[in-house]
Amino acid sequence: MAEQGADLNNPLLIPQPRKLDLQPGHCILPACVRLHLQTAELLPLGQLALHMLAEHQIQAQLSANPAEADAPLRLWLNPALGHAEGYQLSVSEAGIALEGQDQAGLFYGLMTLKQLLRQYAVSLPCLSICDWPDFAARGVMLDISRDKVPTLDTLKTLIDHFGEWKLNQLQLYTEHTFAYAGHEVVWAEASPITSADLLELDQYCAERFIELVPNQNSFGHLARWLKHEAYLPLSETGSEGFIHPWTNVLLKEPFSLCPSDPGSLALVEDLYAQLLPHFRSKLFNIGADETFDLGQGRSKSECEARGKVRVYLDFVRQLHQRVMAHGRLMQFWGDIILKSPELISELPRPCIALNWGYEANHPFDAEGACFAKAGIPYYVCPGTSAWNTIGGRSDNMQANLRLAASAGLSHGAAGYLITDWGDNGHWQPLPVSLPGFAYGAAMAWSSSANHELALGPALDQHLFLDPDGQMAEAWLELGTVYRLLGIEIHNQSPLFALLHWHQETPGQGRTESLHPESLAATEAVLNTLITRSEDFASLRPDAGLLQREFKLAAGLMRHSCRLASARISQGCDPESLPENMRQALATELNALLTEYRQVWLARNRPGGLDDSLKVLNELLERYGVCP
């Protein structure tokens, strides 16, 4: 990659450092070089530096001998730098000196050096960098419950990227996908994360200065538990279901624990006791978001008498006691308590509120002010805008991530957590989320320095390893195609909606104002993007898979266009389309589903795959022909 994009006037880094001063001259690294460590405790970082240099055919010799402190490469601690996790990197014709406020700072300085080596190889421009983070906690939360459970290799690859981008926390959002002993019926078909997996991941994260934070939803979002006979009695509404407040539709499934049932606390106590010993982190995210059915079942009278949010708060207090008993600091999603901001001051302490929102205009500022006024530490939690889209919402993603950083800094947020959800089948391939992870990491590190980050070129340089500079821009453009339809839907793309809710009539309801002309224009752009993907030239080991994932996402989006166009032109449901149309659609969709399975299994475990494909298989059946 050094031959491409090695612009001496513009080092391209993720994240861009807050202070970078280019100077005349170059540092030419020899084939053999000495590397001095200030103390022996820096050996792991020295070994990391050896590995980085070896990738460029440079052999380095380590020493901690004070007599060799003038070595061309130096790694030193300097607590006088003044900012936790900060570093100072100096590249001169005489060599490279890296100082860190702490070991994390040295690691982040090495990650900057790694990217400079990737861009310039052994002829580095002389420069001086002084850098430190905006937010103390900078993390990613991966949804491993709807429906993808990544393989360990996939998770480790992501962790490598997160470390390079200077993130320092990771959460794996869990509902039913940890292998709890005694609860096998819940996770038997899920290919869950195991105890051995967690121990291995915790260590792998720690080696990259990432804190693996335990996560287990403990109130709502527990349908995968409560649908089973053994757990149904603990639910708020039982098998009768509940009216979803967003759609006013009856959902015939349980959703939340009943807060007044002693068995609810007994269950979460068992889960906490099994889960938490696998983590060195002292944080714990209990979830407790979107308790949609609270007050619609067994707690109805109590909620009517005392208020729904008050009942919610009392149960969260009890969860807090259990968390504290395990020596952990409770994190929880802040959406429910924000419905009654006057109760925020009554939250149990210590705790950390997680203030989430995923649109470009989310009121992070007003909501953050509520937590700050009450003295409750909180994180801003924007998202990748990948879920409910197939191909992403690139423009919304960047705006949402920028907005969260600005509001979080205004109100002294303690952290910045980039969420990546898998609602409604987790249809988006992993690369759809990667730009959001990278840009969010940049915003969390230094929003002012990265506000105008050239995201596409930076991703091609440091993520997709595309010497032709095409892949990142194609992925980002794929995430804007939905706008050609002229329809904005909250937290989703209309191309996703047309395919996922295929029982709805195109041009009505959420896709009102849909026109054949915009569908045709959208399909034409998708055809162009699919053709462009043939020329992707990534140097990554998974380059072929990246290309397949792109074609799959674009292909599903194109199928959405073709189905909607056919239904509008014929004025009927899929079952009533002319046979030749149904045959063509069935043949195309069947091929996409075959590829979907193969691509899924390349990065994820098999559990959840059939659930993910359920809606698309139902659509295939509606075509009523043998593909």
Terminal CA-to-CA distance of the chain, rounded, Å? 44
- Which two tokens mark 561? 């266009």
Residue 596: per-residue pLDDT: 98
DSSP string spanning 520-586? HHHHHHHHHHHHHHTT----STTHHHHHHHHHHHHHHHHHHHHHHHHHHHHTS-GGGS-HHHHHHHH
Q: Would you kindly state where each structural domain of the chain is located, as residue ranges?
A: 19-131, 137-382+398-423, 471-623
For 19-131, CATH number? 3.30.379.10
Residue 4: per-residue pLDDT: 46
Q: Which CATH fold topology does 137-382+398-423 show?
A: TIM Barrel (3.20.20)
Identify the CA nearest to 240 among candidates 231, 250, 230, 226. 250
Question: Which residue positions in the chain have pLDDT lower than 50?
Answer: 3-6
471-623 architecture in CATH? Up-down Bundle (1.20)
Question: What DSSP element (H or E) covers 457?
Answer: helix 455-462
CA gap 261, 51 in Å, rounded: 55
CB-based contact 584:625 (threshold 8 Å): no
- Which two tokens mark 627? 């593909």
CB under 8 Å to 417, separation ≥6 — which residues?
137, 139, 140, 141, 169, 171, 354, 379, 380, 381
Question: How far from 479 is each of 27, 507, 574, CA to CA, in Å?
Answer: 40, 22, 27
CB-based contact 555:520 (threshold 8 Å): no
Region of 181 (left: φ > 0; alpha: ψ -120 to 50; beta: rest) is beta
Q: State CA 144 to chain mean position distance.
A: 10
Residue 3: per-residue pLDDT: 44
- Which two tokens mark 240? 């009768």
Q: Which residue has the tokens 């879920």?
A: 387
Q: Which residue has the tokens 């896709």?
A: 511
What is the pTM for the complete model shown?
0.98
Residue 6: per-residue pLDDT: 47
CA gap 465, 459 in Å, rounded: 8
DSSP string spanning 487-523? --BTTB-HHHHHHHTTTSPTTSGGGTT--HHHHHHHH
Residue 8: per-residue pLDDT: 55
Residue 440: per-residue pLDDT: 98
Fill in the DSSP letter of residue 259: T
CA gap 302, 254 in Å, rounded: 19
CA gap 463, 456 in Å, rounded: 10
Residue 548: per-residue pLDDT: 98
Q: Which residue has the tokens 């929003």?
A: 447
In the chain, % helix, strand, coil (3-state, to 5) comes to 50, 15, 35
CB under 8 Å to 97, separation ≥6 — which residues?
73, 74, 76, 89, 90
